[in-house]
Amino acid sequence: MRTAAVVGTGLIGTSVALALTARGITVYLHDADSTAVRTAAALGAGLDEAPPAEVDLAVLAVPPGRIAAALKDCQDQGLAHSYTDVGSVKEQPLLDIEALRCDVSRYIGGHPLAGRERSGPFAARADLFDGRPWVLTPSKETDTETLNRALEMVALCRAVPVVMEPRAHDHAVALVSHAPHLVSALMAARFEDAADTATRLAGQGVRDVTRIAGSDPRLWIEILGANATAVADVLAGFADDLNETVTALRELAAEDDAKRRSGEEGIGGILRRGNVGHARIPGKHGAPAARYESVPVVVGDQPGELARLFGDVGIAGVNIEDMSIDHSPGRPAGLVELMVDPAAAEGLVVELRRKGWNVQR
């Protein structure tokens, strides 16, 4: 593949374009919004112009409800030999595509399982897809060349291809992406009228749980609208668990010993099931769930402190597998939690303390 077009230069389209451009592909950019396309071009994602000839692959990175119309337009104009999309749902867009009588032999559905809670080209990153699964949903009609070009694009974005049926994909993402999105929004909605005295105590846990609630509601109404039944099924089970949890909490607060014991069993059961479910989520880059050890370090809120800490961890020869920063309210310091290989943790603590760091272990 030498040339590509990206239609829709928001978060995902610009990220794909940045990755392809970085690997030497000539990328032509298009968006209904001329500011988005100019911004993407200025970020180095590709060319703000129409291609002089048919490109090898066009990537449709528009909201799910616009995929079919965009494919129809592009095919009518002869923009590309092959087409794929990045929509978060796969069955409804395919039905729309068939209804518009697009050439389905030159189309393959796609969905990178990577994203952010921010929209638009400024939020794009060339490494967004590194090591992430990228689902492809070839139909019986999809030709081999189109499949191969999509596979090449996934490889150039350094993602891992996973072939699935559209319906199986939609059920899977209802569980791992769409229902969690609503759970995050529901929890964040609790803070709508909360007192500042409460919200200013928020730490990393609540930030983790509510991060994706910061996403663009317009896009998510489309995503959820195209996968509503599967998401409702997941949340119905969640609602049952939630009701049982509330009952168990009321029992925990009761005077009666027998009720309190029943409450403890109920809450213990939910927390243990949570442990089991959490352990089933693969770790970074889709690898089996890894057990890292936490090394919490107090870091002063001043320029260069994080760089100095990371430098010292590097000198100690330890890889930071993951990290988070928790800002202490009203204090000029933060707690940086370094997640490292358990075998390296103790040595790192000794080395960091030797260099004067305040390690909270």
Ligand X SMILES: O=C(O)C(=O)Cc1ccc(O)cc1
Ligand Y SMILES: NC(=O)C1=CN([C@@H]2O[C@H](COP(=O)(O)OP(=O)(O)OC[C@H]3O[C@@H](n4cnc5c(N)ncnc54)[C@H](O)[C@@H]3O)[C@@H](O)[C@H]2O)C=CC1
Closest distance of CB 348 from ligand X, Å: 28
Give me the phi and psi of 45, to 5 degrees please: -80, -20
Six-digit token string for 318: 């330890």
Residue 152 CA, distance from chain mean position? 22
Closest distance of CB 184 from ligand X, Å: 9
- The owner of tokens 């970085």 is 22
Residue 247 CA, distance from chain mean position? 33
Closest distance of CB 250 from ligand X, Å: 33
Closer by beta carbon to ligand Y, 49 or else 241: 49
Helix (H) or strand (E) holding 358, with range, is strand 358-359
Question: How far is CA 128 from each of CA 217, 225, 261, rounded to the nearest angstrom?
Answer: 21, 25, 47
Closer by beta carbon to ligand Y, 157 or else 344: 157
Closer by beta carbon to ligand X, 14 or else 88: 88
Count each helix (H run) and each strand (E run) in the chain, helices first: 14, 11
Give me the phi and psi of 49, to 5 degrees please: -155, 160
- Contact residues: ligand Y, CB under 6 A: 7-13, 31-33, 36, 61-64, 66, 70, 86-88, 111-112, 115-116, 119-120, 219, 223
Question: How far is CA 279 from each of CA 14, 205, 323, rounded to the nearest angstrom?
Answer: 33, 17, 19
Q: CA 200 to CA 135: how far, in whole Å?
A: 39
Return the one option of ligand Y, ligand X, none that residue 336 interacts with (CB less than 5 to 8 A, by type): none
Return the one option of ligand Y, ligand X, none that residue 61 interacts with (CB less than 5 to 8 A, by type): ligand Y
Residue 145 CA, distance from chain mean position? 29
- Contact residues: ligand X, CB under 6 A: 88, 113-117, 177, 212
Six-digit token string for 38: 């100019």
Closest distance of CB 113 from ligand X, Å: 5
Closer by beta carbon to ligand Y, 158 or else 313: 158
Return the one option of ligand X, ligand Y, none that residue 86 interacts with (CB less than 5 to 8 A, by type): ligand Y
Closest distance of CB 67 from ligand Y, Å: 7
Closest distance of CB 104 from ligand X, Å: 22
Closest distance of CB 118 from ligand Y, Å: 8
Closer by beta carbon to ligand X, 6 or else 55: 6
Return the one option of ligand Y, ligand X, none that residue 125 interacts with (CB less than 5 to 8 A, by type): none
Return the one option of ligand Y, ligand X, none that residue 120 interacts with (CB less than 5 to 8 A, by type): ligand Y
Six-digit token string for 140: 């019986």
Return the one option of ligand X, ligand Y, none that residue 36 interacts with (CB less than 5 to 8 A, by type): ligand Y
Closer by beta carbon to ligand X, 88 or else 92: 88
Return the one option of ligand X, ligand Y, none that residue 177 interacts with (CB less than 5 to 8 A, by type): ligand X
Six-digit token string for 317: 């020869």
Q: CA 190 to CA 193: how far, in whole Å?
A: 7
What secondary structure letter does DSSP report for 290?
P
Closer by beta carbon to ligand X, 61 or else 71: 61
